[in-house]
A and B are shown apart, each in its own frame.
Chain A
């Protein structure tokens, strides 16, 4: 199992996406080298507190590549120190990025990629067709706010992202993209997934937002889109080499309260640090991610982690946080949650109250998913390809937040 350690290197981004959960993005909070170094020194000098076999050093923003010079310095220092300390993570580490892709082609980013090629995982977010992408992923307005808070403009970012996709896929042929679906995106799901396939992206990790944004009838519209998508994938033969995380054989089954009681979310098993040197159980608990609640800080780079504050995260299970309707649900498997969103939406300051805002959307997904697999397997049976398919086909990644 890998430890995920996230540097929130900046809270700035070129974009101001309309669905972005980062409500407090700004241009002021940029991580300094001194903070990054102190954090690294803390983590690497407390090896026994981090027994995980592997580590994923994750860089997030805002847009992380806005701070490529800092990231380059951080990664060099990490490599040197892990080696110098004979740290067990030197044998198993990755540098991971979720980027909007706008700066991907720049010499600074490309030099960094070349230097760290064997240890990189980079995901570029592209939401689908131009109209779907540009509905939400728009540039920010030039800021006039004294606190640097950003506002959306009308200018979409599709063209500036899509031009970098070929280079990205050349460097990372197996890379996947992350697509986020909000209420207004529903009509464009099918065209968007197919468009991403046409760009050469074989793995589309797609999920609906956890926030309570859903309108009456969205579930029916969602189901309809997924049915259309299912037909398109099967009739077009995309299922052989492409994957879309909406369709998974594992979802839509009842869950046993004892056997299937693990928490979905990895918050608490991860660690995030921000520009101020504050530590969080996941980025989603930093103040810029929260609408209603105060940040849940579990320590800082000077004093380290307050282990007592991790206890609720590490003892959290599915049953304890779920309402009865989820425990009784016959299609519960695959219904995800985000601990940060649960915390933000809860009636008290707790991570133990599961938000069920996606309930109807999950059920719609399950119905379309059932249709997808029944139709696909029937086709494969008739073509006598089922066994071969089950053995070789590209598996979807587990849902990601």
Chain B
């Protein structure tokens, strides 16, 4: 079940969308990059960690800023077109 719990601004949306795209790009890159390409592999691993942290920080920051409700088994989702935030359970 999805419940709309709020909105973010277009700028805030752009920030998470960019992180979302980067995270997807990194995970698809991970399918083709092997450890024998050491320099690039290390760069990928580091980037995945940093991007994941930034991604989580965004949700934490927004949740605090907009006082979004949450549940134990639920997670938040964003509609990139409308900037709407949903609680999905």
Contacts from A to B (Cβ < 8 Å): 76, 79-80, 82-84, 90-93, 115-119
Q: Given that A80-B32, A91-B18 are known contacts, is A119 also in contact with B40, CB under 8 Å in the complex?
A: no
By a beta-carbon cutoff of 8 Å, the part of chain B in contact with chain A is: 18, 21-22, 24-29, 31-33, 40, 43-44, 47
Interface pair B22/A84, CB less than 8 Å apart: no
4 further A-B contacts with Cβ under 8 Å, apart from A83-B29, A118-B25, are A83-B43, A83-B44, A93-B25, A117-B28
Q: Give the interface SS of chain A, mostly helix, strand, loop or mixed.
A: helix
Partner of B25, one of A76, A79, A115, A117: A79
B18 and A92 contact, CB distance less than 8 A = yes
Residues of chain A lying within 8 A (CB to CB) of residue B28: 79, 115-119
Determine how close the nearest CB of chain B comes to the CB of A265; give it in whole angstroms.
25
26 inter-chain pairs at a CB distance below 8 angstroms, sorted by A residue, are: A76-B32, A79-B25, A79-B29, A80-B29, A80-B32, A80-B33, A80-B40, A82-B25, A83-B29, A83-B40, A83-B47, A90-B22, A90-B25, A91-B21, A92-B18, A93-B25, A115-B31, A115-B32, A116-B28, A117-B28, A118-B25, A118-B27, A118-B28, A119-B24, A119-B25, A119-B28
Q: How far is the CA of A79 from the CA of B31 in the complex (A)?
A: 11
Instruction: Compute how far the CA of A80 lies from the CA of B26 in the bound complex, rounded to whole angstroms.
Output: 10
A92 to B18, CA, bound (A): 7
Q: Would you call B25 and A91 a contact (CB within 8 A)?
A: yes
Chain A's closest residue to B22 (CB) is: A91
Cβ–Cβ < 8 Å partners of B47 in chain A: 83
- Interface SS of B by simple majority: helix
Q: Which chain B residue shows the least CB distance to A116? A: B28
Q: Which residues on B sit within 8 Å (CB–CB) of A119? A: 24-25, 28
Q: How far is the CA of A115 from the CA of B21 in the complex (A)?
A: 15
With a CB–CB cut-off of 8 A, which chain A residues contact B22? 90-91
Once A91-B18, A92-B18 are accepted as A-B contacts, the answer to whether A83 and B25 lie under 8 Å apart by CB is yes
What residue in chain B is nearest A89 (Cβ atoms)? B25
Return chain A residues, CB-CB under 8 Å to B26: 83
Q: What residues of chain A lie closer than 8 Å to B21, measured between beta carbons? A: 91-93
Residues of B within 8 A of A90 (CB): 22, 25
In the bound complex, how far is the Cα of B33 from the Cα of A142, in angstroms? 41
Kindly name the residue among B25, B33, B40 whose own CB sees the greatest number of chain A CB atoms within 10 A: B25
Is the Cβ of B24 less than 8 Å from the Cβ of A84?
no
Which of chain B's residues have a CB closer than 8 A to the CB of A92?
Answer: 18, 21
